[in-house]
Amino acid sequence: MGNGAKLPVPLTVLSSSEADAALHALQDASPGSLTVYVVPESSSLLPQGTNVYVGKHRSALVRAGQGLAALRARLQQLTRVMSFTASSIAAALADRVPDGQLGPDARRHLKSSLGYEITFSLLNPDPKSHDVDWDIEGAVNRYVQPVLDKLSVVANFSVDSQILYYAVLGVTPRFDKESSSFLLSAHSLPHVINPVEARLGSSAASLYPVLNFLLYVPERSHSPLYIQDKDGAPVPTNAFHSPRWGGIMVWGPGSASLPLHVDVDMVRVMEVFLAQLRLLFGISREELPPEFQVESPGNEGLADWELDRLLWAHTVENIATVATTLTSLAQLLDQISNIVIKDDVASEVYRAVASVQDAMAELAEGRLRSAFQASKEAVTSSERAFFDPSLLHLLYFPDDQKPLEIPLPGPCIFFIPACL
Amino acid sequence: MAAALSAAALLLGCCGAALASGVQDQAEQFFRSGHTNNWAVLVCTSRFWFNYRHVANTLSVYRSVKRLGIPDSHIVLMLADDMACNPRNPKPATVFSHKNMELNVYGDDVEVDYRSYEVTVENFLRVLTGRIPPSTPRSKRLLSDDRSNILIYMTGHGGNGFLKFQDSEEITNVELADAFEQMWQKRRYNELLFIIDTCQGASMYERFYSPNIMALASSQVGEDSLSHQPDLGIGVHLMDRYTFYVLEFLEEIHPASQTNMNDLFQVCPKSLCVSTPGHRTDLFQRDPQNVLITDFFGSVRKVEITTETISLDRDLAGFENELPKDELATEPLKYADQLPVAQIIHQIPAEQSV
């Protein structure tokens, strides 16, 4: 170790995760950095068959390999996994890239926003038969809040929950004799969401995008209900999600005597919902070769390096947004020569330009956290300037279209003496 | 030799099939729209009793769009809304769209976002461009993003290059085109479908220059759009011809239908409509043959099966945040006597304290 610190226990007796945790204490793991420890090829620190161990902080353990070429290949693959790649940056700029180059899949992640609203809803279409009990408050405090605390760098999150009674799905499930259960086929899933959506509601005050997570307890007459994938096999999670919208999970209580008290196992539910939250944000595990082992982030929901990847993507997206917004504003001002810009709009523009230059400088130095903060400020300022309500009057109702106002006093002077 | 040839032919055939299916997949992906949500902005620009048909037009489109799946939170409806409760309406609280009062399009669950004198050119442009005062509630905003397909339907009285708003102002085709360009600059839409049912409607889409816009109009420049049928009970014309036939066409559409835009272009030929409907697709990237009606009129979401879960540690005592208990001991509260009614009624004087 370069800084001469000592570990309390020799590395060789620790497992990979313990070693990673011990090494984490010695690192200077600033956001955006990546520390790679190369261990000898024959070391027993990594289990048999594993050549790369990706920790849940910002470090990884790599076997040296048979030669420099093998090591280089492993390091290249590791950086592609743990840090940003050309394609992930291109995906962040997806709305500025022409259609043909990226697949339709590239544009589905949530856009970078200053905040997000998360709503958990329990749908009970059959309250006569099922008395459903879900401890959402406890589950949010215990399982969701740690994940949101970790994501609090990215945006502000607000969480609410509701229970909707007599809310039915838009499709009728099919009865399958072999498994004596009801099945929802994959191609009917797109039509499930719409009838429910009208009843979901959203906070009237906030303008942040809403993520809906629905737990559906099917009616007694349609229990148990399973979701089928395209090949007809039942889905183990019994859940599906829609990009930029949220996810739905079907809970399957067994049929028993009425009224059935249903105790929802919030851990199972939250495991699915939090996985869907990761997917909606675009944090997903790509296919890795078997020699890679990735440590599970546990209750925190995501590893530090996954958070870093999200921040890289959002920073780039923010900077691109600011660039196009300010350019478009400048073009607008060029077109309309007699426009008058209010002082506060002008100051927002200056602030946006300064912030975005800051952000680019910080990115060049690799200081991810401050680059992201600067990019957020730049986006806030540029949006405020572009969407300022005063600009509308000047663009669409410029002075040369208003009717002439004729000063009045002249004729009135003659009338007033007549009235007196 | 023959065996080699036939083997080669078989191989080519297999390759050809594989290639074809690969190309098919790619083609499917390419022609699918990349939108994830749908919005609709429905504007009726007229007021007064004799413009009943414009309100009925807009409300009928509103109902179709709701039926096909777009929720109220994603519909911005601008109406003068002076029909249902108009003193001249023989059937109050209703707006009918068919002769013999078959279909009440007003219904119980109409959510009008901009009503009466709020339907102005300025508000319409504010909705489209997003330059809205911060105090505006969520229901009055168009919160679309770069993955939204937006349907914009306008009806009322129009002329060559302008559309009249409530008899007091007008919007020109240049302003409309500029508003769409502002939307495109901020990527406030993925694709936009613009439908207009007014006289000389085609003039309104002549000046569009932003990409991904498809436009339909009920009549060409120089032609008038005509109304459909008067109702002798109500005393006014109930609908315009073009919208009437568009709605008949939409009645056949359900959320899973595969009907495409080319069929919509055929709706209401000159024999039925008297005017010549027009359309404009040069700014649109996809071929109208591949654009589904439900891409704009409905809200069919792309879904994916969730195959991953994360693993949570069930008994993690450390993370349990103790909810703050209400520690203040509340004293028992009494309800104070608000008014000594008994004393007042029986004229009992209040007891004097010594």
- Within 8 A of A276 by CB-CB distance, chain B residues are 306
Q: pLDDT tens-digit profile of A155-189? A: 999 999 999 999 888 788 888 888 888 888 888 88
Which of A393-397, A406-410, B24-28 is least confident? B24-28
Alpha-carbon distance of B265 to A150, in angstroms, equals 52
- Within 8 A of B256 by CB-CB distance, chain A residues are 191
Evaluate whether A209 touches A113 at the Cβ level (below 8 Å).
Answer: yes
Q: Hey, are the CB atoms on B285 and A99 less than 8 Å from each other?
A: yes
A297 interface with B at CB cutoff 8 Å = yes
Which long-range contacts link B271-274 to residues 24+ away (Cβ below 8 Å)? B272/B241, B272/B245, B273/B218, B273/B219, B273/B225, B273/B226, B273/B241, B273/B242, B273/B245, B274/B226, B274/B241
- Give the A window 216-255 contacts with B, CB below 8 Å: 227, 229, 235-237, 239-245, 247, 249
CA-based nearest residue to B175, from B208, B138, B217, B223: B208
Q: How many CB atoms lie within 10 A of CB B108?
A: 6
A197 interface with B at CB cutoff 8 Å = yes
pLDDT for A259 equals 64
Best mutation target among B38, B109, B301, B310 (most A Cβ atoms within 10 Å) is B310
pLDDT for A194 equals 79
Residue A229 binned pLDDT confidence (cut-offs 50, 70, 90): confident
- Give the B window 269-298 contacts with A, CB below 8 Å: 285
pLDDT for A105 equals 58
pLDDT for A292 equals 84
Q: Hey, are the CB atoms on B138 and A202 less than 8 Å from each other?
A: yes
A420 to chain B, closest Cα gap in Å:
38
The chain A residue lying nearest B184, using CA atoms, is A328
Q: Is the torsion defined by CA of B62, B63, B69, B72 positive or negative?
A: positive
- Comparing CB atoms, the residue among B305, B312, B320 nearest residue A229 is B305
Q: Hey, are the CB atoms on B178 and A395 less than 8 Å from each other?
A: yes
B87 to chain A, closest Cα gap in Å:
32
Best mutation target among A113, A325, A395, A401 (most B Cβ atoms within 10 Å) is A395
Alpha-carbon distance of B197 to B241, in angstroms, equals 9
Give chain A's length: 420
A93 to chain B, closest Cα gap in Å:
12
- Comparing CB atoms, the residue among A240, A301, A389 nearest residue B131 is A389
- Give the B window 69-128 contacts with A, CB below 8 Å: 69, 71-73, 121-122, 125-126
Does residue A416 or residue A51 have the better pLDDT?
A51
B92 to chain A, closest Cα gap in Å:
27
Q: Is the pLDDT of residue A411 over 90?
A: no
Alpha-carbon distance of B197 to B195, in angstroms, equals 7
Best mutation target among B33, B304, B314, B316 (most A Cβ atoms within 10 Å) is B304
- Give the A window 364-383 contacts with B, CB below 8 Å: none
Give the containing element (helix H, strand E) for B54: helix B52-67
Evaluate whether A196 touches A170 at the Cβ level (below 8 Å).
Answer: yes
pLDDT for A25 equals 76
Q: Is the pLDDT of residue A83 over 80?
A: yes
Three-class secondary structure of residue A289 per DSSP: coil
Size of interface A-B (CB pairs under 8 A): 172
- Within 8 A of A143 by CB-CB distance, chain B residues are 312
Residue type, B305: I
Per-residue pLDDT of chain B (354 residues; tens, 9 = 90+): 555 555 544 544 444 444 444 444 444 444 567 788 899 999 999 999 999 999 999 999 999 999 998 999 899 999 998 899 999 999 899 998 876 668 888 888 899 999 989 999 999 999 999 999 988 988 999 999 888 999 999 999 999 999 999 989 999 999 999 999 999 988 999 999 999 999 999 999 999 999 999 999 999 998 888 888 888 888 899 999 999 999 989 988 988 889 999 999 999 888 888 899 999 999 998 899 999 999 999 888 888 888 888 888 876 644 444 555 555 666 778 787 777 777 778 765 555 554
- Give phi and psi for A187, each to the nearest 5: -80, -10
> Catalytic pick from B44, B98, B199, B268?
B199
Alpha-carbon distance of A116 to B145, in angstroms, equals 15
Residue type, B167: D
Please state the rounded mean pLDDT for residues A396-404: 51
- Within 8 A of A216 by CB-CB distance, chain B residues are none
Does the pTM exceed 0.90?
Answer: no
The chain A residue lying nearest B294, using CA atoms, is A191
The chain B residue lying nearest A236, using CA atoms, is B307
Cβ-in-10-Å burial (0-12, 13-18, 19+) of A354 comes to middle
Q: What is the largest CA-CA distance in chain B?
A: 131
B273 catalytic? Reply is no
Alpha-carbon distance of B89 to B71, in angstroms, equals 29
- Give the A window 99-138 contacts with B, CB below 8 Å: 99-100, 103-104, 107-108, 111, 137
pLDDT for A295 equals 83
The chain B residue lying nearest A146, using CA atoms, is B319
> Catalytic pick from B157, B237, B268, B273?
B157
Alpha-carbon distance of A391 to B133, in angstroms, equals 11
- Give phi and psi for A12, each to the nearest 5: -65, -20
B305 to chain A, closest Cα gap in Å:
4
pLDDT for B245 equals 92
- Comparing CB atoms, the residue among B37, B302, B323 nearest residue A190 is B302
What ipTM was assigned to the predicted interfaces of this complex? 0.82
DSSP class of residue B279?
Answer: E
Q: How many CB atoms lie within 10 A of CB A3?
A: 7
pLDDT for A73 equals 86
B85 catalytic? Reply is no
pLDDT for A196 equals 84
Q: pLDDT tens-digit profile of A231-290? A: 888 888 899 999 889 999 998 765 555 567 778 888 889 999 999 999 899 887 777 778
